[in-house]
């Protein structure tokens, strides 16, 4: 495989990007291991404070001299609806009781505060000259894009439909990650109606490649050399893999989360709004099952996320996977407990074998 423009821009040997999973998964050790093994490591900074982000960027730089990136959540305006919140809290009460949670009711998020934090995160990316910055849940403002481009930061948008990818290009991003319906974690849709589409990569990659001029990076269900080669055939310049790196030794995912993926099957992976108010894909557990009937009436992101935070934290502390958010893509049968170096070597070896076999 010849070096394509994405690999050249990132200075990487293989067209493999580690998905920026938020919530403690992307430890500095994981990010650096990916960059040191020929891929691009990404810090999932969506939930990090500016100080934590600055600290982690420093830490990653001590562990690798390679390129790496940061992913940020673009804040979207939301309204805290008192009635909805009360109903959700009542709905969550039995879970709190079951986990013996004594703490006071959660503090609700404030949009203006989220936006201020986002701008501070951007300032860290600028100050520390982070080489790559990707965005989820939307496209940042013109000012933010201009400021980052002045630093030569490579900008990546996230899209779940061709229309979103076209918008990402129009607004000046350098590349676009297309997130197939197979992907684990939060859906990255940001345009009206996109959320219903749930387009699989077999459809999403070629239709996007035909419609935009910027490089397309594929994400969703890709776990090995077969997935990498398939995405390359469909026209993607690189793949972004989440679940495959989540179960790696270096990942900071909770041991119960890793274990749940390693023993799961494709039909146990479902979409739910119960944890955060935004649709996300993870392994079915008691929490999701219990909230099934309320999926459409829960508060929106990040309100529901704030309401369930103590539940997720307590469940993690109690090693109880039934109330943790066990994000996973649709290919859990292909997950392995290996080092990042082994994973990337296996992927590239398999890709080479396929290339020989299809001749």
In the complex, which residues of this chain contact a second copy (CB under 8 A)? 1-2, 161-163, 180-182, 193-194, 196-207, 210-211, 220-224, 226-227, 229-235, 265-267, 269-270, 329-331, 333-334, 354-355, 358-359
Q: How far is the CB of 266 from a second copy (least distance, A)?
A: 5
Whether 350 contacts 226, CB under 8 Å: yes
Q: Tell me how far apart the terminal alpha carbons of the chain are, to the nearest angstrom.
A: 14
Pick 45 or 222: Cβ nearer a second copy: 222
Tell me the C-alpha distance between 299 and 92, whole Å.
12
Tell me the C-alpha distance between 328 and 246, whole Å.
9
- The three-state secondary structure class of 154 is strand
Pick 2 or 107: Cβ nearer a second copy: 2
CB atoms within 10 A of CB 272: 21
- Which contiguous run of DSSP H or E holds residue 8? helix 5-10
Pick 56 or 328: Cβ nearer a second copy: 328
Q: How far is the CB of 350 from a second copy (least distance, A)?
A: 10
Q: How far is the CB of 355 from a second copy (least distance, A)?
A: 7
User: Would you give the DSSP letter of residue 274?
Assistant: T
Q: How far is the CB of 216 from a second copy (least distance, A)?
A: 12
What proportions of the chain, in percent to the nearest 5, are helix, strand and coil?
45, 15, 40
Q: How far is the CB of 270 from a second copy (least distance, A)?
A: 7
List Cα–Cα distances, 298 to 108, 151, 153, 222, in angstroms: 14, 40, 37, 31
Pick 325 or 330: Cβ nearer a second copy: 330
Pick 40 or 239: Cβ nearer a second copy: 239
CB atoms within 10 A of CB 162: 20
Pick 125 or 288: Cβ nearer a second copy: 288
């Amino acid at each position: 495989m010849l070096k394509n423009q994405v690999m050249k821009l990132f200075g990487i040997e293989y067209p493999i990007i580690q998905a920026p999973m938020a919530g403690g998964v992307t430890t500095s050790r994981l990010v650096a291991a990916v960059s040191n093994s020929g891929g691009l490591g990404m810090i999932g900074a969506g939930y990090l404070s500016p100080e934590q982000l600055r600290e982690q960027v420093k830490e990653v730089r001590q562990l690798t001299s390679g390129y790496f990136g940061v992913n940020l959540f673009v804040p979207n305006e939301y309204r805290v609806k008192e009635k909805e919140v009360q109903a959700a809290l009542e709905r969550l009460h039995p879970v709190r009781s079951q986990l013996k949670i004594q703490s006071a009711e959660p503090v609700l998020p404030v949009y203006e505060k989220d936006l201020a934090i986002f701008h501070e995160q951007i300032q860290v990316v600028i100050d520390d000259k982070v080489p790559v910055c990707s965005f989820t849940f939307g496209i940042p403002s013109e000012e933010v894009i201009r400021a980052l481009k002045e630093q030569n930061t490579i900008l990546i948008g996230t899209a779940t439909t061709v229309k979103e990818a076209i918008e990402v290009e129009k607004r000046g991003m350098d590349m676009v990650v297309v997130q197939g319906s197979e992907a684990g974690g939060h859906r990255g849709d940001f345009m009206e109606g996109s959320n219903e589409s749930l387009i699989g990569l077999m459809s999403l990659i070629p239709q996007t490649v035909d419609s935009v001029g910027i490089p397309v990076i594929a994400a969703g269900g890709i776990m090995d050399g077969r997935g990498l080669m398939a995405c390359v055939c469909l026209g993607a310049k690189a793949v972004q893999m989440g679940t495959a790196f989540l179960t790696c030794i270096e990942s900071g995912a909770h041991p119960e989360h890793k274990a749940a993926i390693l023993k799961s099957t494709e039909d146990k992976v479902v979409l739910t709004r119960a944890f955060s108010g935004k649709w996300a894909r993870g392994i079915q557990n008691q929490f999701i099952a219990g909230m099934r009937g309320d999926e459409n009436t829960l508060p929106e992101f990040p309100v529901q996320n704030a309401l369930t935070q103590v539940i997720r934290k307590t469940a993690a502390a109690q090693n109880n996977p039934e109330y943790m958010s066990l994000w996973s893509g649709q290919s859990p049968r292909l997950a392995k407990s290996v080092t990042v170096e082994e994973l990337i070597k296996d992927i590239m070896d398999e890709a080479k074998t396929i290339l020989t076999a299809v001749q």
